[in-house]
Chains A and B, each alone.
Chain A
Amino acid sequence: MYDHLFLITLAVLATTARVMGLIALSIISGWFLAYGAIKNRVFENIFLAIVEIFESVPVITFFPLVLIIFITDVGGSIGVELAADFLVFTAVVWNIWIGEYQAFKTIPREMIEVAENYNFGFFDRLSHMYIPFSIPRIAANLFPSVADGFFYITVSEVFTVGLTSYSVFGVGSVILYFISNGYYYEIPVTLLVLGVAILITVFSLRRLTDRAVAKYTVDTDMPIMRRGRPRLRQSATVSAVMSINPLVKLAKYNRARQGKTDLEELYSRSRKKNRAWIVVGIFALMIFIYLIYAAYSIISSVSYSQWQYLFSKTPGLLFGLLLDYIRVLTITVAALAFAMTFGYLLATRRKAESVGIPAIQFISSYPVPVYFPFIFIAIYPFTTSILGPHTEEGFVLALGFLSTFYYVFYGFWMGMKAMPVEYTEIMRNMDMGFFKKMRYVILPSTFPYLITGISSTMNSAWGGLEIAEYWPGISSGKTLQVHTGLMKSIDLATKSGNIMLAAWASFLFAIVVAIYSILFTRKMMELAKKKYVAEEGIYST
C-alpha cells in the first residue's frame, strides 16, 4: 500500500507539473509573441488570425494531427509525451496569449513614452513595463486555463488507437494500472490525492493572483472595477508601490543615461533589432513551409477510392454535427441559466462569494472524466426511472455541462464585478426586481463578458461531448453512448484505427466551427464593443 501511495503521489505530482509547466510555457511564449505582434503589423495580423481560428476550434480537432505528427513521425515514449503535452498546450494557450496581447496593446501611451524617454531596450521594456502590465490579465485567464489543463491532461495521458494503447506517467495511467490489476481501493485514494493537489494549486493561485492584481493593476481615476467599500490593505499596497516608483525610475534613469546618449549606438541597436526580427521571420516561415508540406503529403497519400469513401460518409457526419450542435446549445443555455442565477447571487453577497468562488474554482479544476464514472454508477438507476430511453443522452449533456459551465459563469461573474458601482446604486435606488435588473442593466452591462464566456463554453463543450458520446466501460459492463453524433463518429474511428476518417471528420468540424465563429461570435463581439460597454456610461474627467 505504501508503495502505491508513493506511486500515486508521484503520478499526481507529474500530472500537476505537466499542467503548470505548460501554462508557464504559454505565458512566457505569449509575452514574446504579443510583443512581436504589437511591434510588427504583418506579424500581428498573422498572429491574430491564427489565434482567432485556433481559439474557436476545440482541442479535440487537433487529435488526429497529433497522432500523425507525434505518434507516427516522432514515435516512442517522447512522441507520446509530446502528444499529451501538445493537447494540453492547445487547451490552455489561446486565452492566455490573447489576454497578453490585449494587455500589451492597451498599455497607456504615457508609460510607453516614459520607456522611450529612458531609452529602454527590448528586455527592459518587457520586464519593467509590458510584463507587469500583463499580469492582471494573465491572472484573470489563469483559472479557466488550469481547469482546462486538468480536464485534458487526464484524457491525454492515456489514449487508444486501434489495438494500441499509449500512455504517459501520470494520474490517468496510474488509475488505469490500478483498474487493470484489481487494486480498487487505491482508486479513491488517487482521487483524494489529486483533489488535495488541485486544492493546493487553486489556493496558491488565488493568493498569487490577489497579490499580483493588487500590485500590478494600474491605478486610474475612473471609479470602475471598484465595488463596495474600499479595500484599505489593497490600496495601501498600491500606494506603497506607487510611492517608491519615482525613486526607482530615477535610479534606472541614471543608470540608463550613462554612456547611452550616443546616436550612433542607438542606430546600431535598431539595426540589431531588425536582424533579430529577420531571424524570427525565417523561423516562422520554416514552420509554415513544414506545415504546408505535411498537409500536402497527407492529402496526396489518400487514394481516389479513399476519397470516395470519405465523401460517402460526409452526409452522415454532417447530420451528427447538427445533433451535436443542438447538444452544445442545450449545454450552453443550462450554463447561462446557472451563471445568471448563481453568479448573480455570489456577485451580490460577499460572504457567499468568499466561499462560492473558491468552491467553483476547485470543482471546475477537478477533471470531470476522473469523477464522472462515480456519479454515473451512483445515480444511473434513479436517472433511468425518470429519463427512460433518454438516460444516456441526459448523462452526456451532464458531462458536457460539468466540463464547461465555468466559462460562462466566470464571464458573467467578472462582468458583474466590473460593472460600475453607480449602476448597482441606481438599481437599488429604483427598487428594481431581479428580472428588471437583468433585462435593463445587468445583461447589457455584462454582454461583452458573456459573449466571451458563451463562446468559450461552446468551444469547450465539444471536449466534454468527445468523451461522453462514446465511453466504453464507464462502469463494469456498461458503455455510455449516444445514438448519433459527430464526436461519437470521431471516437469510434480513432479507436478502430481509422485515422483517415477521424481526420476527415475533424477537418469538416473545424471548417464549420470556424465559419460559425466568424459569423456569430465575431459579430456579437463587434456589437458588444459598439454598444454594450458599461464603462462608457460613466463620464468623469
Chain B
Amino acid sequence: MEVVGLDFSYENGYKVFQNINLTIEPGKFVSIVGPSGVGKSTLLRLIGAFLTPEKGQILLHGKPVLRPTPLISMVHQSIVTFPWMTAKENVLLSLKTRSIEKERSEEVARRSLEMVGLQGFEDLYPKEMSGGMRQRVAIARSLAGEPNVMLMDEPFAHLDELTAGGLRQDIYSILFNGDATLENVIMVSHNLTEVVELSDAVFILNDNPATIVGRLDITMPRPRIHRDPEFDRYLDVLYNYLTKKKGATNV
C-alpha cells in the first residue's frame, strides 16, 4: 500500500495536509501518531477513499483507490454495530454484497466470530454485549469481508483499560493469524503505549499543514512487555518526535 504526494484542505480552505507520503510493506501493522487535531482520522479517511484528496493518490497493489472498497475496511473509534441485528447478522452484513452461497456466508461469519473469540455469542444482540465484545463484533464484520487493509481509528478509545488491554493482547494474533486475508493494518492512536505494543512501524504526523515528519520501525519481539527498558526507549523516541519543533531534522 502506498500514499503518494497527498494534499488535502477542508472546505473552508484550511490546508490540513501537504505532500504526505507513506509506503507500507505487506504484513506490517503500522500506526499513525500525531498531536491532537493534526488530522490523523482525516488521513485514515483519505486512505480509505471516504474523502477525496486535492492532490496525490492512494495505491493498493499499484492501482489507485478512487472510492471506498471492501478491500480497505474501516473499524471506527465509536464502536459501530447495528442494534437490530444479532452478532452473526452484523458479521453477515459484510458478505451481502458478494454473491456467495448462504451456507458459505454462514461459515465465514461463524469463523470470523470464532477468530475474535465470540464463539457461542452468535445470537446475542449488541445491546446484550459489553463494549469489548461489540468491538470484537465490529472487527469480525470487517474481517469477514476479507479485506487486504484494515483501517483502525482509535479502536480501543471507548473501552475501559482492562478490556482494552485484553483486546490489544489478542488483536495481533487475530489479524495476522494466517486465515485472514489481511496484508496491512493501519491504526490511528494517541495512546503511545498501545502504539509501541502493537506496531511494526510508526509514522509520525506533525507540522502545519501536517506532513509525515518521521518513521520509527519497532523491532521488539512479541509479546511486548511494558516493563521492558527497550519498550520505554521506543516511547521516549516517539515522545521526542511529537514534541519536536517544526523544521527539526527527520530521522
Q: How far is the CB of B104 from chain A (nearest CB, A)?
A: 17
Q: How far in angstroms is the closest Cβ of chain B from A25?
A: 39
A425 contacts B126, C-beta separation under 8 Å = no
- Does A377 belong to the interface (CB within 8 Å)? no
User: Once the chains bind, are B97 and A436 in contact (CB under 8 Å)?
Assistant: yes
Residue A440 interfacial (CB < 8 Å): yes
B74 and A539 contact, CB distance less than 8 A: no
Which A143-193 residues have a C-beta within 8 angstroms of B? Answer: none
Interface bits B87-125 vs A (CB < 8 Å: 1, else 0): 000000110110000000000000000000000000000
CB atoms of B80 and A430 under 8 A apart? no
Selected contact of B96 from candidates A229, A230, A436, A540, CB within 8 Å: A436
- Choose, from A243-251, A259-267, A287-295, A528-536, the stretch at the interface: A528-536
Q: What are 17 sample pairs from A and B whose C-beta atoms fall under 8 A apart?
A: A222-B78, A229-B11, A422-B80, A423-B82, A429-B68, A430-B145, A431-B69, A431-B97, A432-B96, A441-B82, A444-B82, A534-B83, A537-B80, A539-B81, A539-B126, A540-B77, A541-B131
**B126 near A537: Cβ-Cβ < 8 Å:** yes
Q: What's the least CB distance linking B194 to chain A, in Å?
A: 16
Sort chain A's interface into a size bin.
20 to 34
Q: Tell me the minimal C-beta distance from B47 to chain A in angstroms.
A: 12
A95 to chain B, nearest CB (A): 26
- Residues B80 and A423 in contact, CB atoms below 8 Å apart: yes
CA distance A531 to B45 in the complex (A): 30
Check if A428 sits within 8 Å of B96, measured CB to CB: no
Residues of A within 8 A of B (CB): 222-223, 229-230, 232, 420, 422-423, 425-426, 428-433, 436, 440-441, 444, 531-534, 536-541
Contact A430 B84 (CB under 8 A): no
Q: What is the interface of chain B, defined by CB distance below 8 A to chain A? A: 10-12, 45, 48, 50, 67-70, 72-74, 76-85, 93-94, 96-97, 126-127, 131, 134-135, 145, 158-159
Q: Which residue of B lies closest to A232 (CB)?
A: B12
Contacts of A432 on B, CB cut-off 8 Å?
A: 96-97
Chain B positions within 8 Å of A444 at CB level:
82, 84
| Set of chain A residues within 8 Å of B73, measured between Cβ atoms | 429
A contact residues around B70 at 8 Å (CB): 429-431
Q: Which 6 A-B pairs have the closest CB atoms?
A: A539-B79, A428-B68, A540-B78, A422-B80, A536-B83, A537-B83
Name, among A444, A531, A539, the residue most crowded by chain B CB atoms within 10 Å (CB to CB). A539
List of A residues within 8 angstroms of B83 by Cβ: 531-534, 536-537
Q: Given A229-B10, A229-B11, A540-B158, verify A440-B80 contact (CB < 8 Å).
A: no
> In the complex the two chains form, is A539's CB within 8 Å of B131's CB?
yes
CB distance from B1 to the nearest CB of A (A): 16
* Chain B residues, CB < 8 A from A230: 10
Chain A nearest CB, measured from B43 CB (Å)? 15
Is the Cβ of A537 less than 8 Å from the Cβ of B81?
Answer: yes
Task: Please name all residues of chain B whose beta carbon is closer than 8 Å to the beta carbon of A229 when the two chains form the complex.
Answer: 10-11
B204 shortest CB reach to chain A, Å? 24
The docked-state distance in angstroms from the alpha carbon of A444 to that of B89 is: 14
Q: How far is the CA of A230 from the CA of B39 in the complex (A)?
A: 13
- Kindly report which residue of chain B lies nearest to residue A447, judged by CB atoms: B84
Query: How far does the alpha carbon of A229 sit from the alpha carbon of B72 in the complex, in Å?
Result: 21
Given A425-B68, A429-B73, A430-B96; 19 other pairs, CB 8 A cutoff: A229-B10, A420-B78, A423-B82, A429-B48, A430-B93, A430-B94, A431-B68, A444-B84, A536-B127, A537-B82, A537-B83, A538-B78, A538-B80, A539-B81, A539-B126, A539-B131, A539-B135, A540-B79, A540-B158
